[in-house]
Amino acid sequence: MRKALVFGVFGLVAGLLGAASPARAQADISLPYPALTIFFRTANLEPLSQSQFVLNLAAQSSVKQPQANVNLFDDFYLINGQWSGSPNNLIVHFNGNLQNLGQRVIPTWVGVAQFSNHAITYDLQAGFQQVKAKYGIPNAQAASVVVYRTLNTGLLVYDYRIPIAGGRCQEYLFTPENGGFQLGMQGGCYMSLAGVGRSRAGHR
């Protein structure tokens, strides 16, 4: 009797999980589940970007709070790659449910190459852990992370912005494909619709 009850409950739970999984995959992709890497890789961004490609894809905290775990980021931006033959680009602010929170046209975004978000495979949190180990900053928190593809190497770069003095951030660049590291520039910590367009696109 007890064994039958246990298996009955197990079967009910398994059935509910199995029924819920497809719905979650289709409708509920809000963070922190799934992880940021999965969200970036699997999200259908075309309706937001009006393009198959992006030039920048960024994540940060909606309350502008640096995090030790980038999977906690819940505020996102993209800069699109191709936009109906226009020389300009579009920056879009969106949330974990792929809801458009605002957008605007910006001048041509140069310095980085187009890429598909589906090409993002290496775990973003693992990359951050490697950056912290490489530079001896085990307690560092990231204000934001930006993914882009360089023009000169054609490789994806994970650009972690870590706060320093004066409300600015130091960029730490990690290239998953070859395990490369590089210090980037110092500058702003967060993306915004108003702020983008007056700074460089990415580290070349």
SS3 letters across 80-106:
ECCCCCCCCEEEEEEECCCCEEEEEEE
Please state, for a pLDDT cut of 70, what percent of the chain lies above it. 77
- Count Cα atoms within 13 angstroms, Cβ side, for 16: 5
For the cut 80, the answer to whether the pLDDT of residue 109 exceeds it is yes
Residue pair 42/29 in contact (Cβ under 8 Å)? The answer is: yes
Q: Name the nearest CA neighbour of 178 among 137, 106, 122, 97.
A: 122
For the cut 50, the answer to whether the pLDDT of residue 9 exceeds it is no
Pick 81 or 131 by higher pLDDT.
131
Residue pair 169/188 in contact (Cβ under 8 Å)? The answer is: yes
* Contact residues for 194 (Cβ-Cβ < 8 A; gap 6+): none
For the cut 80, the answer to whether the pLDDT of residue 135 exceeds it is yes
Query: What are the Cα distances from residue 54, in Å, to 64, 67, 68, 110?
Result: 23, 25, 26, 12
* Residues belonging to the chain: 204
**Mean pLDDT for the chain overall:** 83
Rounded distance, CA 136 to CA 111, Å?
29
Residue pair 32/96 in contact (Cβ under 8 Å)? The answer is: no
pLDDT tens across 142-196, in order? 999 999 999 999 999 999 999 998 899 999 999 999 999 999 999 999 999 987 7
| Cα angle value 17/18/22 (rounded, 5°) | 105
Rounded distance, CA 172 to CA 128, Å?
9
pLDDT tens across 188-197, in order? 999 999 877 6
